[in-house]
Amino acid sequence: MQINSPQAMFELGEKIGQQLKPSDVLVLTGELGAGKTVFTQGIASAFNILGVTSPTFVISRIHKGNPNFIHIDAYRLLDSDPTTFSDLDFESYLSSSVFVIEWGKDFVSTLTDQYLEVIINYGENESDRQVEFLPNGDRWSGFKL
């Protein structure tokens, strides 16, 4: 799928956010500046959560709600052992939360085997992005927008 602007990336996130429920996990993969945080802001807006920023330096932010919205940026953990991620005890929030994990491909298996991977790459033009969805597990089998 091609996205042509930050606003379109936000709207795509919002559309997906409207389909999410507690225990859902999304893993965002893409280069720096590709639009992962804008996409996440769109998801959060579906839960009436505003002001979402990248938690790069704090690793995670928990936005309380029903469900909770947990935004994790695992970039600083990339050189760590995958068990470091499980030491953060996110699984205790799984049943009551929606998770978005940037840079989480190496860590998501410590949390769940049911997740939607969203790959965001630069397109041919500066503002274009290519977005691909890779479903993992029964929860995401047959995923459609």
Tokens 């939607």 locate to: 116
Q: What is the pLDDT of residue 101?
A: 93
Bridge partner residues of 71 (DSSP): 61, 100
Instruction: Judge whether residue 92 has pLDDT over 90.
Output: no
pLDDT tens figures, 31-89: 888 999 999 999 999 999 988 988 777 778 889 988 999 998 887 666 666 666 666 66
Q: Which tokens is 108 given?
A: 């998501």
Cα-only R_g, the chain: 14
Cα distance between residue 111 and residue 114, in whole Å: 9
Average pLDDT over residues 111-130: 92
Residue ranges of domains in the chain: 2-138
The bridge status of strand 129-136 relative to strand 2-3 is antiparallel
Cα distance between residue 57 and residue 119, in whole Å: 22
Classify domain 2-138 at the CATH superfamily level. P-loop containing nucleotide triphosphate hydrolases (3.40.50.300)
Instruction: Judge whether residue 105 has pLDDT over 70.
Output: yes
Q: What is the pLDDT of residue 35?
A: 92
pLDDT tens figures, 123-145: 888 889 999 999 999 999 988 88
Compare 16 and 84 and report the one with higher pLDDT.
16
Q: What is the pLDDT of residue 133?
A: 96
